[in-house]
Amino acid sequence: MKRIWISLIALVAMGAVAQKPEAQSGTPALLEAINGKQARVFLQRLEDGKLTFQAYKSNTDITVPSSKIKSLTFYPKYDAEAVEQQFNAGDYSAALSILDPLMEPFWDYMVVDNNLRDAFCMLMDTYYKSGDFQGVRRAANILMESGDPKLVQRGQANIALVAIAENDLETAKKIRGEVTSAAAGLYLQACIERAEKRPKDAIWTASGIILNYANDLEWLAPSELLCANLYVDMLGSNSAITTNSSLHTARQVKNIYAGSSVAADAEKLWVSLGGAEREAAIADKKAEREKKEAEEKAKKEADAASLAEDTASTNNVEAAHSGNTASTNDVNTTAEMESE
């Protein structure tokens, strides 16, 4: 292994004077070995646990066990922030139109730690939300070979969710028993119960996540959204559940988790249940009530002002009358005194 890396370093050093190929094939990347050494390379393939690459400006293939690679850094040109915003806004077709072609050269290398894994997971989630279950399985199977426990579990959960969507509940139950996260296991259990037409049981299971795993944000938000959908399932089933239960829960999820794809999905559910119309109607009634109250207040103030004006006018008249009376009395008094 040591000789391989010595050879690699030599090839990289010689690259400055070597004749540059017209167009070097492969996927450009910065490779970091587990010993910390780095090299610019062109990846050729990864198969059977072995990574084959060429040093920069070299056409010699070098093959090493992928376990000897610490990480890979790729440099695709795309607006990562814009794609994330599209995904979190629930515009999955727009996100997919960018992520799908963008990620294609990097699929096989996702088993090695790299800077595009978050984008790859987003692509897998976008496949699921778009109903492309074949894409989900393909991506999930790669993540399950990564050796990263979180990514392995994420792949398992997505495989299970696809199985549930396709009514393969036995496969889903098997995977549910394999995941290491209690919250993830409960979420899958609730989804299985929903598929089995047991919404009441599913709500109890999902509520257990909300009550006992409130710090597990990866599964908390989806569990709350699941409850909103379960309330919809229970409408018209001789239960006390009404549309208001679904509307309230969906509205709560879209507000609490604003800026996430879960919130976007909750808003879609809320809108489909007439939430926007109801909220507009409530706003109109509130505005009408406030207008009426303002008009009544203005009328009371006007009446009060009119009453004050009338009172002032009456007082002025009385004062004037009182003054006239006093003047008459003075005249009479003066006349009487003169006659004496």
pLDDT tens per residue across span 211-245: 999 999 899 999 999 999 999 999 877 666 788 99
Average model confidence (pLDDT) across the chain? 87
Length, in residues, of the chain: 340
**Secondary structure of residue 179 in the 3-state scheme:** coil
Domains of the chain, with CATH numbers? 23-74 (2.30.30.100), 77-180 (1.25.40)
CA 180 to chain centre: 24
Answer whether 138's CB lies under 8 Å from 108's CB. Answer: no
Choice between 131 and 324, residue whose per-residue pLDDT is larger:
131
Residue 303 has what pLDDT? 74
Provide the CA 192 distance to its chain's centre, in angstroms: 23
pTM of the model: 0.78
pLDDT at residue 3 tops 60: no
Q: Is the pLDDT of residue 152 over 50?
A: yes
Task: Name which of 40, 122, 28 is nearest 74 in CA terms.
Answer: 28
Alpha-carbon span 271 to 223, nearest angstrom: 19
pLDDT tens readout for residues 69-115: 999 999 999 999 999 999 999 999 999 999 999 999 999 999 999 99
Mean pLDDT of 51-77: 95
- DSSP run (H or E) holding 222: helix 217-233
Q: Which of 37, 35, 46, 38 lies closest to 145 in space, CA to CA?
A: 46
Amino acid occupying residue 132:
D
β-bridge partners, 33: 69
In this predicted structure, what is the pLDDT of residue 178?
95
Strand order in the sheet with 27-33: 61-65, 50-55, 38-47, 27-33, 69-73
pLDDT, mean of residues 150-158: 97
Above 70 in pLDDT, residue 292? yes
